[in-house]
Structure 1
């Protein structure tokens, strides 16, 4: 009795498309022909263009070919929608003297050698047509700013009917994004510190947050610095649809906004961060993306602030505790051990840090803190937003009663927007980096920052703390004379023209003299 292996494939598994009826049709065909079914193999959620070896069910078919006279599927397109893959199947079957047929009678043992290649070509053509239709549908929904499937970016949820899905703000996640953005831009926080804080607070990372929100079981994942970086860096936080750049691997660092016919980003939902904040966040993250060989910031307050007087190398903090007491020190590694190039240079950390802090706050505590803003396109982004608001408001104005209260309010808003539009246009045309008032004093900022953030302030204000080795035979206790503290002054003063810098220095000295 001839033997047969039955095969069925589904691109997507839906209840109404279950393979049972096709397999039953194959069984009936085999019974009619007097063939013995020796195996049934199925593939679900597998494309017809997938390679044969990448399909679990097809691998079963190939393993049974030496024991089968026929391979049977309900229709030709169940085997493959690629002429190349179908030819490979035919060659595999021919090598074992098996014949590929279909239960619908189109390909039978009598005509298989003639018709099968022609029909396979039509199956591939149909696949190309389906692909073109799906792509056209995606292009249509993308042009409307609709969500195209999958999880929404962190900070958003998906809402709306099937053909008009949009992003809505997920306030729980959005508040995390805004909090982290503020800590980065306003308080000198680091990605590592923010990531550690999120994990300590039990904040779920993006994938687990989406699972919990949708009522699914979480997997116990944690935040990583790269996860937080991607969440903050992606253009999706502006409410824009994003797509991969051709030739680039898809990812938050390389994705670009989808643009409309006029070159403006397509919006799929409200923005989580305004243009200026997002631009500042990206600038900070780009600055922190240092490669190998570039000096990296550690966690010590005086790292890269306190050099050794002997070699001008950095003093590193070594944390040591014993019996509840802190014996942490700063040490120059080039003065330690048998390979040291100069005499040992070690100093107790706590008093030197306290000494630098006191001197720093005495000199600069009352100064207004300034923040550097880079011309990275934020003005252009805001200009686009304001122009869109003007167009919408102008369109609504024609439908309002002339001289009415609503019309007067709309005109007032239009005037304000047009003034802002003019300011942004000027700013965009003459964009350059500048220092802006952060709205608080250096002392207030110092008190709000952690150790890493405070080190950033010391660097910004030009701190240099030179540590000298102890004199031979000196007692083993903290000696303030070993510490030389100097400040170049705030970066915003150093960058100013000489006349402005001199006036600022005079004002600073006068301020320091106030009791």
Structure 2
């Protein structure tokens, strides 16, 4: 009769990564020797959870490959195999198909009692794992409700301070000042995420991850700011000092996270606010308004792009950049009048002179005006309303499963009453919140001097600038003719007391009117 064979398996969990597996393997070898079994292979998994799938463990994959060729698999204890009944049952099924027996060296599971005791003990392993998971979940819920930091990096603009089990966010002033400056430039000075990210890189300002590494004395990775990085750190509700969490069913991210709410539906504070409600709301409105999907039209850097229009087709005039011997010979050109496929006669005009004409006229008319900006109402009421409504729906679903006369049902009904009251308050707040025009404390001329071409183009758009260019008269001298340009303004939106959405409708109507005129 041939000697029985066995494979030894050991798993080391992440929780006890400092513990060496040698003594457990030695115990398995001693057990096999006592039984007269030949050890043909030793397989180990290090830093692997007992709840992970069998096929996700390198060592366990080795065990599975040996099953058809051995009589037994030996581990020091049952929990070394798995802490999930489902995964352990899969291992048993695989072993049963090859007539292999699963054994533990501590004697709890032996060849004599394996078929009876294994499933019972596996259930206890699953129960232990569920208890650990429950304790961790309850602990996180408790600390989150107190506004404590739960681990990992704090949001950009904050650092973590305080004793263990009572850590909170404190403002990291060097990072917070970057956020405040970027918010101000976005709201009041026509800045863009791309331009601000470029400026931060040029100034040598470290992006969030490297900033945290420098603060903690760790090695930098030489990362850079990107427009999406800046968007995320300005968009998150954490800037209001609120704890945040992922929306159920959504991937965790700055654009989808929502504030953590207490039992009354109010945001849980994790630290002091960096941006006020009005400023944060205005930043989010600007970011939402400027977001574009794939394939959508994107603006360039020319001052008069989408301001200068061709009189022949009402299409945009594009700036063609050209320099000769250091001199600027750039032009604005309508593409519909270029080449053999052009649908009308050429329409080209010198860019430098045209931009100087528009700049002088614009500043003469509006330079002394106070620049206004549209302040959106605090959007936090809408965010909180959405989360409170979700909580009500979840509790209502749970209530249907409870005994209507039981203690649990009374507790849930009390929570629902509080949440419904808060829901009504938030709905009223969201319905009655109104935007308004507020002064930036700067004149239009001052802003014009401070902005780049992209920002100046925004100022032109704010006042409804429209520049219609006519083709040159055949045989006319090849020099700049200001009579070819007709510049009009629909006027500042705040004159008409329009909010941005209404102003956009006015712009559309004006474009349609111009289109009808050109068609004639």
Output the TM-score relative to the length of structure 1. 0.82
Q: Alpha-carbon deviation of 1:293? A: 6.3
Please point out which of 231, 237, 240 is paired with 2:239. 237
Instruction: Give the alignment of 1:417-496 within 5 angstroms.
Output: 430-495=432-497
Q: Could you say which residue in structure 2 is the equivalent of 1:126?
A: 128
Count of aligned pairs: 453
> CA 1:25/1:154 → structure 2, altered by over 3 Å: closer, same or farther?
farther
Q: Contact 1:368 / 1:437 at 8 angstroms: preserved in 2?
A: yes
Unaligned runs of 5+ in 1: 382-425, 498-515
1:208 corresponds in structure 2 to 210
3-state secondary structure, aligned to 1:7:
strand
Q: Which residue in 2 is equivalent to 1:314?
A: 316
User: How big is each residue's C-alpha offset from its partner over 1:157-200, in whole Å with a ceiling of 9 and x where there is no partner?
Assistant: 22222211211222232222122111111111111111222223
The change in CA–CA distance for 1:112 and 1:281 in structure 2 (over 3 A counts) is same
- The answer for the alignment partner of 1:263 in structure 2 is 265
Write the deviation string for residues 137-167 of structure 1: whole angstroms up to 9, x where unpaired. 1111111111112221112222222211211
Out of 361, 364, 369, the position equivalent to 1:362 is 364
| Displacement after TM superposition at 1:85 (Å) | 1.2
Report SS of the residue matched to 1:266.
Answer: coil
Deviates more, 1:286-295 or 1:257-266: 286-295
Which one of 38, 41, 64 corresponds to residue 39 of structure 1? 41
SS of equivalent to 2:195:
helix
Q: Are residues 1:146 and 2:155 paired?
A: no
For the 8 Å contact 1:3–1:35, the answer to whether it is kept is yes
Task: Tell me the equivalent position of 1:398.
Answer: none
Question: Contact 1:13 / 1:44 at 8 angstroms: preserved in 2?
Answer: no
**1:247 aligned residue:** 249
Match of 2:79 in 1: 77
SS of alignment partner, residue 29 of structure 2: helix
* Aligned with 2:291 (options 289, 292, 313): 289
Residue 7 (structure 1) shift = 2.3
1:208 and 1:64 map into 2 onto residues whose CA distance is 47
2:300 aligns with 298
Query: Does 308-317 or 3-12 show the bigger shift?
Result: 3-12
Aligned residues of 1:208 and 1:220 also touching (Cα < 8 A):
yes
Contact 2:278-2:375 within 8 A present in 1 as well: no
Alignment correspondent of 2:199: 197
* 1:496 CA drift (Å): 6.3
SS in 2 for 1:265: coil
SS at match of 1:347: strand
Query: 3-state SS of the aligned residue for 1:489?
Result: coil
Q: 2:179 aligns with which of 158, 177, 180?
A: 177
1:251 positional shift: 1.2
Contact kept in structure 2, 1:166 and 1:268, CA below 8 Å? yes
Q: Please state whether the residue corresponding to 1:39 is helix, strand or coil.
A: strand
